[in-house]
Structure 1
């Protein structure tokens, strides 16, 4: 979703370097990440906390209690070590973590007016985009994915899907968990509200270069085909074979406008996949990222109220 300028600047402070090919030792991004830690001793990084509450532009009221609990993944999931000695184990060790918080000191008049508004209206509401990540397992030697229903209540704005090797999904030094490959997929569509997206079924054959429609739909879902000044630097070659085979689906007409909300639509969301070749030994995981409209509220006593029906 990020543009190339952000990837080459701000995100490098978080240790991110863009890969032209995922899971490839010759990738410039992988080599830069190696250089940033090899022989450097302790490495300091900084990144935004990517949770719903902090991905919206409004600040919290005063006197709110906020507690953040972070659980790190296994080191095998976090570390790429393609050429390691089999007897060598690597550990991702965190020595210190702290949060930088911006605080606004309001003028007395504005602070009093804000408090009066809270008492009068009883609630202060924060509209935001809530993200949900789901995954489901596809057994080996299958030509289609098992029937599944991912969401059973509110309709998401848009959905992104990708297929990753089961071993990499569970953590492996030798495989990247972000290496999304086509795995011989011929068709993928989302069923909701009695409709299917896309309306015209895909007929994909990545070996014969029949994938452009899915690539354009990904860029459409991200909003990069409707302007000439931003891109995510994913080329057709990268989409085809370099670990960026991610499928995007817009389910809402306001999917890309965070300032607009739709009425809640109750529905079931299902994903269907078909393959030209049998799925590999060990199986695959389909990782699904979905975005929903969400309202977060605070009452006069600063108690949080989340209308979550996802």
Structure 2
């Protein structure tokens, strides 16, 4: 998908990876059935999967086409556009300086578009994108009134020609059963924690099917709802001192996370990002290092899969 953007103003810049994050919701409908998550969490799905699945080198090259420039750790909330401490914001702002038009290109971020199988003929596909508010997707002075205007968009769809024999085989198979498309479904859920709370217990995070792994991040509520001088992707550690999950009465991990962020002690929690997401002892680098982790990139990962490799084939587990 490509987009052409125009910022009506100068002293402002887009949030990171705007090719997807300027949309609060991406609805995908196949044959009149909604198959995507219907919630305004699309930007968080995009930014988390990008940070946890690609190396910094890949983000600097391929993903720069969608204006991804990694925010400087500890400077997410900087609104100094020119020569400010957030080098990622500075690089991105060059493209929209003085209300310059900028074109972006990148993949639409929805589960079905990461499926390796192609859609069969006669499958009706519809996509609905919902814009996020300007207060959410623009960084700048809090009371500023700059606006983001979409000038146009194009959707590029890959098509292939298959032989008549294969087409007849598809039609014959569809008389006996439905087409199956394996998906790795990613779901984002949000929960509110009262301000100044020392202890928070969240019950029934998942009822029924249990995900393979969970990644938990904490952001400021005002940033989440949209405030120009706060980055929505500043994942703060909030001085968490104790964290654990309970699955069917069993604690995960067996020894709870007990970081002391004010002393700079959080290496176990950082290292667990690799073990929980199948990057342990593999050449699958993340775009986050241990210094970044404590300064705006704090995420806690929990592997709930019986196999250590989350990509391994395993039956769907149910529980609470």
TM-score above 0.5, yes or no: yes
Deviation at 1:102, TM superposition (A): 0.4
Asked whether the 8 Å contact 1:187–1:201 carries over to 2, the reply is: yes
* Higher helix content, 1 or 2: 2
Deviations 1:93-150 (Å, cap 9, x if unpaired)? 2121221000111111221122222223x11111111111111111112101143322
Which residue number corresponds to residue 150 of structure 2? 94
Which residue number corresponds to residue 287 of structure 2? 233
Provide the secondary structure at the position in 2 that maps to 1:127.
coil
- Distance in 2 (alpha carbons) for counterparts of 1:93 and 1:146: 41
Deviations 1:133-192 (Å, cap 9, x if unpaired)? 111111112101143322111110010001111111111100001101111110111111
Asked whether the 8 Å contact 1:138–1:145 carries over to 2, the reply is: yes
2:85 is the alignment partner of 1:26: yes
2:104 is the alignment partner of 1:45: yes
Asked whether the 8 Å contact 1:204–1:210 carries over to 2, the reply is: yes
Which residue number corresponds to residue 234 of structure 2? 179
Pick from 282, 299, 306: which aligns with 1:253?
Answer: 306
Asked whether the 8 Å contact 2:213–2:310 carries over to 1, the reply is: no
- Distance in 1 (alpha carbons) for counterparts of 2:247 and 2:111: 24
- Distance in 1 (alpha carbons) for counterparts of 2:143 and 2:202: 41
Greater relative contact order, per chain length (Cα 8 Å cut-off, separation 6+)? 1
- Distance in 2 (alpha carbons) for counterparts of 1:88 and 1:211: 37
Asked whether the 8 Å contact 2:213–2:277 carries over to 1, the reply is: no
- Distance in 2 (alpha carbons) for counterparts of 1:49 and 1:95: 18
Deviations 1:196-254 (Å, cap 9, x if unpaired)? 11111222111112211111111222333321x331131111111x2000111110034
Relative to structure 1, the CA distance from residue 176 to residue 6 in structure 2 (aligned partners, 3 Å threshold; closer, same or farther) is same
Which residue number corresponds to residue 152 of structure 1? 207
- Distance in 2 (alpha carbons) for counterparts of 1:265 and 1:87: 48
Report the TM-score, using the length of structure 2 for normalisation: 0.77
The 5 A counterparts of 1:56-135 are 56-81=115-140, 84=141, 88-120=144-176, 122-135=177-190
Asked whether the 8 Å contact 1:204–1:211 carries over to 2, the reply is: yes
Report the TM-score, using the length of structure 1 for normalisation: 0.79
Provide the secondary structure at the position in 2 that maps to 1:263.
coil
Asked whether the 8 Å contact 1:193–1:267 carries over to 2, the reply is: yes
Asked whether the 8 Å contact 1:158–1:255 carries over to 2, the reply is: no
- Distance in 2 (alpha carbons) for counterparts of 1:7 and 1:180: 19
- Distance in 2 (alpha carbons) for counterparts of 1:72 and 1:12: 21
Unaligned runs of 5+ in 1: 269-310
Relative to structure 1, the CA distance from residue 66 to residue 256 in structure 2 (aligned partners, 3 Å threshold; closer, same or farther) is farther
Q: Which runs of 4+ in 1 moved over 3 A?
A: 253-258
RMSD (Å) for aligned C-alpha atoms: 1.7
